[in-house]
Amino acid sequence: MKWKAKIITHRGESRIAMLIDSDPEYWNIARSIEDSRWSQSRKCWHIPDTEENRIRFMIEVVIKPHPSADGIARLEKFRHWLLSKRYSENTIKSYTEAAYTFLSFFHHKDIDGITNEDIIMFNNTYILKKKLSASYQNQIVNALKLFFLIVDDKIIDPTLIHRPKRAKVLPNVLSKAEVKLIIEAPRNYKHRIMLSLVYACGLRRSELLNLKFADIHADRNLLIVRQAKGNKDRIVPISDRVIEMLREYYKIYRTEKWLFEGNIRGEQFGSKSLQSALKLAVTKSGIQKPVTLHWLRHSYATHLLESGTDLRYIQELLGHTSSRTTEIYTHVSMSNIQQIRSPFDDL
């Protein structure tokens, strides 16, 4: 017999709520289970959430488990610590979600008793089994190291935890002709200037959306990117052509707070709206590639390298902490590769 059930928290304890009908035979079986209880409010029987009960009754859990009450409290403490340290919104979200997933997996275990071996088991029985990405696996390890250090004063030894080898994936780069087609495709002038600015200055999505008019120094042909990734400011050059486009843009839209605002004045332009604008532009351009905004940033860096810009300057313009991150563009730059003569031509 296969019963459907769901994980519930009853008085701070993880239980299995048994979803059975009013058949007396089912009720008698439910009553006979050790420590079974009737919930008047939920109108169901619930039993201890143990592996034995899951296997014994072939229970099909239809709702994912969640952390214990203690786990939820510690997650909140972790989130507040990240906020106090001014971690970025994306980092806080990804780290707390990673810790939430891990604590849900071990919802039946006392958090103070969790060890390196549990993290290894989570890696093997959850991440690898679900074929989750190597980057997610690394993110989980990083999040858990910090989580246990902050909320439990426990040091997780990263040398004991399996970390995947990073795949060496080349950045996706568009030709200058393809970039031109994309940024000229939108009829909406706001969308056109936004896509142009991403490519013209090598901006990340969040960097573009966080811009204000005060960040543009037209007299010096500079754009200040404030509190970007890693909470760092940086300066990038901006051409006279882009400045003229921005002046025309301001005459039309007269935004109040942000350089790019949505339909409601004073509110920041939405991330999803920007993605939709790009998707529509790519479709109109006729380019049959899964282009993302980051492709424009990759293209900016690669085209700079091909035009002879020193790699150290490109590193500064992109806001990379390590030069190794910037060096990946040397593998997709065509300026030197195209000069290589194939031995096939000599046959």
Which active-site residues does the annotation give?
A: 204, 229, 294, 297, 320, 329
- Shortest CA distance to 315 belongs to which of 307, 306, 304, 108? 304
Other CB atoms closer than 10 Å to residue 142's CB: what's the count?
Answer: 16
To which H or E segment does residue 17 belong?
strand 13-19
CA separation (Å) from 180 to 172, 174, 247, 258, 307?
16, 10, 20, 26, 17
Which phi-psi region, left, alpha or beta, contains residue 52 (left: φ > 0; alpha: ψ -120 to 50)? alpha
What's the rounded Cα separation, in Å, for the pair 90 and 242? Answer: 29
Nearest to 306 by CA among 263, 277, 335, 266: 335
Contacts for 177 with CB less than 8 Å, ≥ 6 apart: none
Q: CA 131, 134, 135: angle at the middle one, nearest 5?
A: 125
State whether residue 19 is helix, strand or coil.
strand
CA separation for the pair 138, 248 (Å, rounded): 45
Distance CA 111, CA 119 (A): 12
Residues near 9 by beta carbon (within 8 Å), at least 6 away in sequence: 15, 66, 68, 69
What is the distance between the alpha carbons of residues 96 and 126, in angstroms, rounded to a whole number? 17
Q: Cα–Cα distance between 171 and 299 in angstroms, integer?
A: 9
